[in-house]
Amino acid sequence: MARFLVTGGAGFIGSHLVDALAGAGAKVRVLDDLSTGRRENLPAAARLIVGDVADPGTVRAAMAGVDGCFHLAAIASVARAAEDWLGTHRVNLGGTIAVLDAARARGVPVVYASSAAVYGDCPDQPITETAPTRPLSAYGADKLGGELHAAVAARVFGVANVGLRFFNVYGPRQDPGSPYSGVISIFAGQLRRGEPVEVFGDGGQTRDFVAVADVVAALRAAMGRIGPGDAAGRITTPAVPQALVFNVCTGIATSIRALAAELAALEGGTAVIREGPARPGDIRHSVGCPDAARAALGLGPPMPLRAGLAGVRAWLDAGLRLERT
C-alpha cells in the first residue's frame, strides 16, 4: 500500500485528491493549517496533521515514512498576495522550499501545484510550456520561484519532482462565500442568491477553466512518472531525478461574460451583470495548450465546461438541502 503526504489536503483541490488516493487504497496523511481548508472535507481514512507548511520541522516530521508527497498548500489567491506580499511569500515560496528540503532529507518524490499565473500576459495563445514566464502578480512570482527551486532540488539534491501549472480550476468544495475564491464559485453563489454578478473590467478577459476531477487525474499520473505508480506501491522512480513542468488545462477559452451567461442559463435565467473596476494586473487572456501533459501523462479528454458547471450546481443544491435540515 503506497503512503502519501498531501500538503493543503483539506482544501478544495487537495481534498478531491485525498478522496481519490484513499479510494484507491493508499494511506494518506494531510498537512494543513486549516486556514482555508476544512476538516470536514477529509475522508475518515485520512490522517490530518494541523500545522504550517512553512515550518521546516513540521514538514520533515510529516514526511517521515511516505513514498510520495503532493504539495498543494498555499495561499491560493492573486488578490491576497497583493494585499499581503511578504506573508503570502513566506507560505507560497517558503512552504515549497520547506517541502523540497524535507523531500531531499527523506528521499521522497514531489508533485507540486504551480499555476498559469507564471506566464503573465502571454501574446501567443494557447500557451505552451516553453513560453516565456513573466508573472504579473506576487502570487505568480512565488509559483515561478517554486519551479526554479524544484529544478535545483532535482539537479543538485536529487529530488525527483513534477510541477503542474494548473489553469483556472473549478468544482465542488470551492468556497462560494469567499471574495478570494475562484470566479466560478463566486458567480454561482451570487446567482443562487439572486444577486447580480460583478465582472471586473469589461468581462472580455478569457480563462481556461479546468475541472477538479481532471486536475486530480493529472496529479496522480504525474506521481506515477516519478514515484509510486499506483496504490499497490509499485515504485517507478527513474535513475536520474527529473524536474518536469506541465500545463494542466483544456485548451478552450471562455470569456468571463460568457461564463456568467453559461452559469445563468443553468439556473434557467439570464445574468444581471454589474461592471466593476478591472483588477490591477489582471491577465487578459490565459488559455493553455494541454498537448504535452496529455502525451507525457496519458491524460484523457477534459470534462466539458457545461458538465462541470452542472456538477458545481448539484453540489450547491446538496449544500442548501443540508442547511435546511
Binding stretches for ligand NAD (CB under 6 A): 8, 10-14, 31-37, 52-54, 72-76, 91, 95, 113, 115, 166, 168-169, 182
Residue closer to ligand NAD, measured from CB, 7 or 190: 7
Shortest CB 207 distance to ligand UD2, Å: 5
CA distance 47 to 288: 35
Q: Cis peptide leading into 109, omega within 30 of 0?
A: no
CA distance 235 to 191: 47
What φ, ψ does residue 149 adopt, rounded to 5°? Answer: -65, -35
**Cβ(188)–Cβ(313) under 8 Å?**
yes
The single-letter code of the amino acid at 11 is G
Shortest CB 69 distance to ligand NAD, Å: 13
**Site map for ligand UD2, 168-197, x if CB under 6 A?**
x-------------xx--x-----------
Q: Is 170 a catalytic residue?
A: no
**In which element (H, E) is residue 101 found?**
helix 94-106
Helix (H, G, I), strand (E, B) or coil at 93: coil
Q: Does 116 bind ligand UD2 (CB under 6 A)?
A: yes
The three three-digit cell numbers of residue 49, written as one number: 496533521
Q: Does 257 bind ligand UD2 (CB under 6 A)?
A: no
**Site map for ligand UD2, 197-226, x if CB under 6 A?**
-xxx----x-x-------------------
CA distance 27 to 2: 6
Active site residue ranges: 139
The residue ranges that bind ligand UD2 (CB under 6 A) are 76-78, 115-117, 166-168, 182-183, 186, 198-200, 205, 207, 256, 279, 282-283, 286
